[in-house]
């Protein structure tokens, strides 16, 4: 069936989530398809940021325990609001730190090399920061990352096969850290299956949810995932540098965090000033320092919106939008040999599509110049992420029209084949 602009306009009129679009500040004259790197600002996020600033202005230090959003318990309260998005119990999530700091905390806690179980199992396509953290912990234990970090290879350079990951779960592996969604291709890994395989072998397993949280549902508690960590500035629209989050299954609660700090404490005794730490009995124990209150504030409004909309409805629309985008690429761009790097099947596809083309870096520059904001990932990937809460179907249609025009006119040839510092 041919997809037309009228198709897009009709779907926009029928869209149950369209009312949220007006809650965002949409860049004038742009079609924003980079929400998998940085989500747009919502009016609710702006307002809760102003509310917290107002508490600081009016209350001073008393803002820790008074005002509309008391700061002392804000990380815990936002953890409760985040829990439905990842299928966790409220006490299993805490909003704290940054993505990589949280991974360091979780590795310090769960990576316990002993005997021949010394290796960390990861993959060859994961985000570099995660690998840097894993290499750091191997070196801290006096181990050579070249020998003790297993990175399961991709068969085609784009996707991972769960069979290969499971086959690598040997009795030499001490911990497993994998992405939920591959940041280049958008492939969703079967977290349930991988967790069951790890549990049978007695290996703790955790997931980087940066490219899935806010885009797909999770069931971390029921799956038995040991730990997870994620940023809140992509699909969750928490703003640049937003405080991140982590999950620790309640079967591990009551233990001591690998990296202890001021806010690891049970809040009832935190201000006793005792040099003997009494860790919080829940995920709060995995905090380290004082929360960054002003970077937490936008998440109050953003998470409220997600809980209003519901992650299942968001996922349903997201899949329909990425499917529409793929259909348009096939329909309109076939002669220019774009390769679809993401999975076609709904259950294996995250929130973005991945187009490979040898001129990707120059095409991205042309797109941006003409008002379409994509995302480039070396060596040749264009990522396009329609976001359910603020991207319209008509914008998707128009973005593909502009891309077709760029290819017909070879407009991209005006640009240098060199990526910008931030891409």
Annotated binding site: 99-100, 127-130, 208, 211, 233, 262, 290
Q: Report the side by side order of strands in the sheet with 339-340.
A: 339-340, 353-356, 381-384, 375-377
Q: Dihedral sign for Cα 376, 379, 380, 381, please.
A: negative
Residue 184 token pair: 């280049």
Marked catalytic residue, from 20, 229, 233, 263: 233
| Cβ 82 vs Cβ 96: under 8 Å | no
| Number of other residues whose CB lies within 10 A of the CB of residue 391 | 26
| Cβ 378 vs Cβ 310: under 8 Å | no
Per the annotation, the verdict on 234 as an active-site residue is: yes
Contacts of 3 (CB under 8 A, 6+ apart): 324, 327, 328, 331, 397
Marked catalytic residue, from 44, 80, 81, 234: 234
| Cβ 185 vs Cβ 158: under 8 Å | yes
Contacts of 32 (CB under 8 A, 6+ apart): 26, 40, 373, 387, 390, 391
Distance CA(67)–CA(81), nearest Å, equals: 19
Distance CA(222)–CA(251), nearest Å, equals: 12
Marked catalytic residue, from 34, 183, 207, 208: 208
Marked catalytic residue, from 127, 190, 199, 320: 127
Site of tokens 């994998």? 178
Q: Which H helix or E strand runs over 227?
A: strand 227-230
26-29: long-range pairs with CB below 8 Å, 24+: 26/390, 27/373, 29/371
Counted residue by residue, the chain has a size of 423
Distance CA(77)–CA(67), nearest Å, equals: 14
Distance CA(285)–CA(190), nearest Å, equals: 29
Per the annotation, the verdict on 233 as an active-site residue is: yes
Per the annotation, the verdict on 127 as an active-site residue is: yes
Marked catalytic residue, from 44, 81, 119, 383: 383
Residue 349 token pair: 């596809």
Distance CA(335)–CA(139), nearest Å, equals: 50
Q: Which residues carry a binding-site annotation for pyridoxal 5'-phosphate?
A: 99-100, 127-130, 208, 211, 233, 262, 290
Distance CA(99)–CA(97), nearest Å, equals: 7
For residue 343, the 8-state DSSP code is: -
Distance CA(333)–CA(371), nearest Å, equals: 19
Question: Taking the CA of residue 251 as centre, how many other CA atoms within 13 Å lie in the half-sphere pointing to its CB?
Answer: 11
Which residues participate in catalysis according to the annotation?
127, 208, 233-234, 383
């Amino acid at each position: 069936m041919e997809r037309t602009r009228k198709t897009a306009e009709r779907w926009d009129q029928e869209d149950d989530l369209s009312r949220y679009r007006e809650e965002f500040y949409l860049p004038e004259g742009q079609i924003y398809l980079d929400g998998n790197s940085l989500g747009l600002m919502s009016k609710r996020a702006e307002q809760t940021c102003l509310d917290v600033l107002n508490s600081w202005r009016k209350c001073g230090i008393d803002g820790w325990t008074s005002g509309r959003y008391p700061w002392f318990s804000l990380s815990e309260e936002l953890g409760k609001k985040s829990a439905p998005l990842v299928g966790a119990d409220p006490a299993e999530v805490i909003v704290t730190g940054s993505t990589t700091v949280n991974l360091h905390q979780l590795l310090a806690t769960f990576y316990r090399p002993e005997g021949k179980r010394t290796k960390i199992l990861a993959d060859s396509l994961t985000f570099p920061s995660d690998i840097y953290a894993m290499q750091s912990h191997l070196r801290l234990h006096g181990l050579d990352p070249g020998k003790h970090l297993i990175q399961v290879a991709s068969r085609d350079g784009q996707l991972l096969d769960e069979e290969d990951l499971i086959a690598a779960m040997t009795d030499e592996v001490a911990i497993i850290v994998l992405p939920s969604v591959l940041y280049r291709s958008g492939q969703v890994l079967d977290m349930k299956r991988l967790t069951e395989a790890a549990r049978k072998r007695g290996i703790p397993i955790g997931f980087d949810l940066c490219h899935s949280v806010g885009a797909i549902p999770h069931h971390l508690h029921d799956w038995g995932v040991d730990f997870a960590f994620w940023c809140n500035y992509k699909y969750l629209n928490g703003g640049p540098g937003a405080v991140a989050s982590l999950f620790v299954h309640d079967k591990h609660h009551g233990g001591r965090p690998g990296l202890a700090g001021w806010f690891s404490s049970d809040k009832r005794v935190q201000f006793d000033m005792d040099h003997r730490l009494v860790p919080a009995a829940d995920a709060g124990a995995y905090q380290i320092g004082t929360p960054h209150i002003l970077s937490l504030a936008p998440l109050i409004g953003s998470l409220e919106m997600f809980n209003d909309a519901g992650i299942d409805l968001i996922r349903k629309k997201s899949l329909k939008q990425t499917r529409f985008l793929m259909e348009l690429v096939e329909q309109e761009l076939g002669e220019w040999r774009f390769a679809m790097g993401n999975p076609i099947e709904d259950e294996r596809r995250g929130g973005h599509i991945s187009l490979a083309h040898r001129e990707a870096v120059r095409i991205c520059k042309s797109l941006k110049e003409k008002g379409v904001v994509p995302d480039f990932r070396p060596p040749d990937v264009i990522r396009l992420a329609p976001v359910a809460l603020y991207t319209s179907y008509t914008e998707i249609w128009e973005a593909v029209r502009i891309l077709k025009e760029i290819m017909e006119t070879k407009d991209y040839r005006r640009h240098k084949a060199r990526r910008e510092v931030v891409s």
